[in-house]
Structure 1
Amino acid sequence: MNDIALRGFSTDQRVSYGLTLMVVSVLVSPAIDILAKLAIATVPAAEITAARFLLQVIFILPIAVARGRLFDLTWRKSALHALRGGLLLLTMLSFITTLKVMEVADAIAIFFVEPIILTILGSIFLKEAIGWRRYTACAVGFLGALLVIQPSMQEVGPIALLPIVAAFTLAVFLLVTRMVAQNEDPWSMQFHAGIWGGLFCLVMLALGEGTGSSVFDPVWPDGRVWVYLVGVGITATISGVLAVYAYRAAPASVLAPLQYLEIVSATILGWLVFGDLPDALKWLGIAIIIASGLYIIWRERKLQKSASVPPVSPAI
């Protein structure tokens, strides 16, 4: 449904429509990680990332061209697109590499400290006013993350910290997005970030060939892995497109709390596919992370009702 069709909707209908799309988006999103975890057993993280970028660019290109702003570029815009693409690449590489040894629900739970990191970075670089309540919520959220990380560190080692790296790079990505989003078409932004991320990824794969690296040395996928790679690209595109239209129909402050449904669907899918379930300590950490994130969202909504917050997850 496009923006013109939505004009005939009442405010409540638009919000309900946006909520529906967002729920579907966050429930579909963990399928990306499940497929990536299946693929990374035999192919490197950079190859999975490249496949996702490639398929997303292919799907987005016709829409971006039809909107007529795809080639509205300057050197500054191109540099910012390249920066966003590089940050998105680092986010995806960090998170997908984690999935090789960690349970999907655990990795996503740690990754969801991203809104907390974004809040702190916003106060530092964008001079956004952050009171003691939100700083306290950030500290509590990080303690929750430690409850998930600590047993994971014992199980898999320092790689358990990679979701924090992914959360940090995504937070920086969103800060840069805020800088350019005012005068840019969202579809064009997604396309250019995908192009640059894909190019960087291909360079890494070319340099990594023959090195034996489990992250960068490319391998030729077998038949089943091709299905996983294509599935990653398709589900990422579907989830991303649904989120775009959800945020067009309803306020970000209304939709943002729904992102935590992703932990629920990730836990269910991880249990169905891999038989993985978080233990009691990890569940406690997950609950603290969710509670802290929801409080920060509620507090921002209360203090800055007119502020627009970008979606937290571009379907990692």
Structure 2
Amino acid sequence: MSPAPDRILPGILLMIGFTVTAPVMDSFAKLASAEIPVAQIAAARFAVQAAILIPLAALLGALVRPTLREAGLHLLRAILILAATTAFFAALRVMPLADAIAVFFVEPFILTLLGAVLLGETVGWRRVLACIVGFVGALLVIRPSFAAFGAVALLPLMTAFFFACYMVTTRQVARHTHPVALQAWTALGACVLVLPLLVIFEGSGVAPLDPVMPQGVFWLWLAGVGLAATVAHLFLSAALRRAPTAVIAPLQYLEIVAAAVLGLLIFDDLPDAQALAGIAIIMASGLYVFLRERDLNRPPPPAP
């Protein structure tokens, strides 16, 4: 049975909330990266999320002790999302916000191909072609950034790959775990992984891992990263519970628009003509993949 229209509309509004809030998190991370190491920003993101969601999950009665298999999957998800987050925050130090997010949006294409390789899902030639076209669009965005910033412009591609693997892993555990508890366990696992690294590398001089004492407004930027990330993922989880993925997934591309607006207002960054062309190609290819999945009566790849 299809969800009622009065549930689909709130789902759409919640998804729009996600597309606006997620770039806010990235903006806070970019602001913080001026003085704070990347690993420390990632640690703040997951520490705040764990501090909010673990009590919330307990209050909802959803914080059930996981089985050994589920605990392993939670840890694997934590490794993957920590790698994706760290790579993306590192890219944001130098890349324009909209460019980095646009390159990341090759993730649905990687997820489609991983579904075929790892889950045995059927992927026809039309969707394979759409994925190839989407990657070409990503290259149009990457090329000027690569010329300006070097190999760091490839980091959003790494983020897309790690996040696609994270989504494949999530499919194995999401059916049996409350979404708030799922995010809580992931945040806790990421903290268990990254906080010891900050202790080990303190004073080492290894820039991405050597923590510093935040000063002044940088405390606000770090708190903003964690708070915005938590709110964004609560929006996403709530949207997915109210509306079909096929309805809300195409809305994720509004995140690029929000990122472009925030990048212009906060950092005075605006994608050039070549990057805009690449962004348009990525969006068109991604929308085709979603529509094709819907026509085949299969759930499209979940929104990042």
TM-score by length of 2: 0.97
Q: Give 1:198 shift.
A: 1.0
Structure-2 separation of matches of 1:140 and 1:79:
36
- Aligned pair in 2 of structure 1 residues 151, 309: CA closer, same or farther (>3 Å)? closer
Equivalent residue number for residue 244 of structure 1: 237
Of 53-62 and 286-295, the range deviating more from structure 2: 53-62
Residue of structure 2 in register with 1:27 after alignment: 20
Q: Which amino acid aligns with 2:270?
A: L
Query: What's the offset of the Cα at 1:205?
Result: 1.1
Task: State the alpha-carbon separation in 2 of the partners of residues 47 and 40 from structure 1.
Answer: 9
Q: Secondary structure at the match of 2:217?
A: helix
Confirm or deny that 1:89 pairs with 2:89. Answer: no
Aligned-residue Cα RMSD (Å) equals: 1.2
Listed one character per residue, the Cα deviations across residues 240-272 of structure 1 (whole Å, up to 9, x for unaligned) are: 111111111111110000000000010011000
- Whole-Å separation in 2 of the counterparts to 1:224 and 1:213: 24
Aligned-partner Cα distance in 1 for 2:301–2:43:
28
Q: Does 1:147 align with 2:140?
A: yes
1:291 corresponds to: 284
For structure 1, which segment, 198-207 or 97-106, has the greater mean C-alpha deviation from structure 2 after superposition?
198-207
Contact 2:108 2:301 (8 Å CA) reproduced? no
* Aligned-partner residue type, residue 110 of structure 1: V
Q: Which residue does 2:259 correspond to in 1?
A: 266
CA–CA separation in structure 2 for the residues paired with 1:247 and 1:21 = 9
Aligned AA for 1:298?
Answer: L
Aligned pairs for 1:77-156 (under 5 A) are 77-156=70-149
User: 1:308 and 1:302 mapped to 2: Cα distance?
Assistant: 10
1:309 CA drift (Å): 4.3
Amino acid at match of 2:70: K
Q: Could you tell me which of 58, 64, 89 is aligned with 1:71?
A: 64
1:308, distance to aligned residue in structure 2 (A): 6.5
Q: CA deviation at 1:304?
A: 2.0
Which stretch shifts more, 66-75 or 167-176? 66-75
Tell me if structure 2 keeps the 8 A contact 1:251–1:308. no
Structure 1 contact 57–194 (Cα < 8 Å) conserved: yes
Q: Deviation at 1:71?
A: 3.2
Cα 1:152/1:202, change in 2 over 3 Å:
same
Within the alignment, does 1:157 sit opposite 2:130 as a pair? Answer: no
Give ranges in structure 2 of 5+ residues lacking alignment: none
